[in-house]
Amino acid sequence: MVLKAFFPTCCASVDSGLLVGRWVPEQSAAVVLAVVHFPFIPIQVKELLAQVQQASQLGMAVLGTWCHCQQELEESLGHFLEGLGTIFSHDPWLQLCREKGTRCWSCKAIYHQVSSSPDTPSEDQVMLIFYDQRKVLLSWLHPPMTVPNCQAGDVTASARGLAAIFDTVSRSKMLFHSDRFDESPVRLSHWQSEGVEASILVELAKWASGPVCLLVASMLSIISAAVSALCVLPRLWNLWPLSFIRSKLSACEQLRHRLEQLSLVFSTQKAQSPTQLMRKANMLVSVLVDVALGLLLLSWLYSNDRIGQLANALIPGADRVAEELQHLLQWLMGAPAGLKMNRALDQVLGRFFLYHIHLWISYIHLMSPFIEHILWHVGLSACLGLTIALSILSDIIALLTFHIYCFYVYGARLYCLKIYGLSSLWRLFRGKKWNVLRQRVDSCSYDLDQLFIGTLLFTILIFLLPTTALYYLVFTLLRLLVVTVQGLIHLLMDFINSLPLYSLGLRLCRPYRLAAGVKFRVLEQEAGRPLRLLMQINPLPYSLVLCTYRLPSYGCHPKHSWSSLCCKLFLGELIYPWRQRGDKQD
Which of 162, 189, 216 is the C-terminal boundary of a domain?
A: 189
pLDDT at 122: 57
Q: Is 510 among the domain residues?
A: no
Choose between 342 and 209: higher pLDDT. Answer: 342
- Of the pLDDT bands very low, low, confident and very high (cuts 50, 70, 90), residue 586 is very low
pLDDT of 331 strictly over 50: yes
- Of the pLDDT bands very low, low, confident and very high (cuts 50, 70, 90), residue 296 is very high
pLDDT of 466 strictly over 60: yes
Q: How many helices (H) and strands (E) does the chain have?
A: 17, 15
Q: Which of 586, 576, 585 is nearest to 248 (CA)?
A: 576
pLDDT at 83: 62
Residue range(s) defining the domain that contains residue 363: 300-499+551-579
Q: Is the peptide bond before 558 cis (omega within 30 degrees of 0)?
A: no
Which of 133, 164, 189 is the C-terminal boundary of a domain?
A: 189
Which of 134, 156, 189 is the C-terminal boundary of a domain?
A: 189
In angstroms, the Cα distances linking 108 to 23, 62, 92 are 15, 15, 9
pLDDT above 70 as % of the chain: 78
pLDDT of 184 strictly over 70: no
Q: Where are the alpha helices (DSSP H) in 133-249?
A: 133-138, 152-170, 173-177, 200-230, 240-248
Q: Is 483 among the domain residues?
A: yes
Rounded to whole angstroms, the maximal C-alpha distance in the chain is 123
Q: Is 377 among the domain residues?
A: yes
pLDDT of 517 strictly over 70: yes
pLDDT at 210: 67
pLDDT at 72: 47
- Claim to verify: residue 453 and residue 306 sit in the same structural domain: yes
CB 581 within 8 A of CB 557: yes
CATH of the domain at 78: 3.40.140
In angstroms, the Cα distances linking 508 to 76, 137, 503, 525 are 52, 18, 9, 34
Q: What is the C-alpha to C-alpha distance for residues 533 and 128, in angstroms, rounded to an integer?
A: 6
Q: Is 543 among the domain residues?
A: no
- The 3-state DSSP class for residue 525 equals coil
Q: What is the distance in angstroms between the CA of the first residue and the CA of the last residue of the chain? A: 65
Q: How many domains does the chain have?
A: 2
For the residues 239-263, what does the mean pLDDT come to?
Answer: 77
pLDDT at 580: 47
Q: Which of 228, 231, 302, 235 is nearest to 259 (CA)?
A: 228
pLDDT of 293 strictly over 90: yes
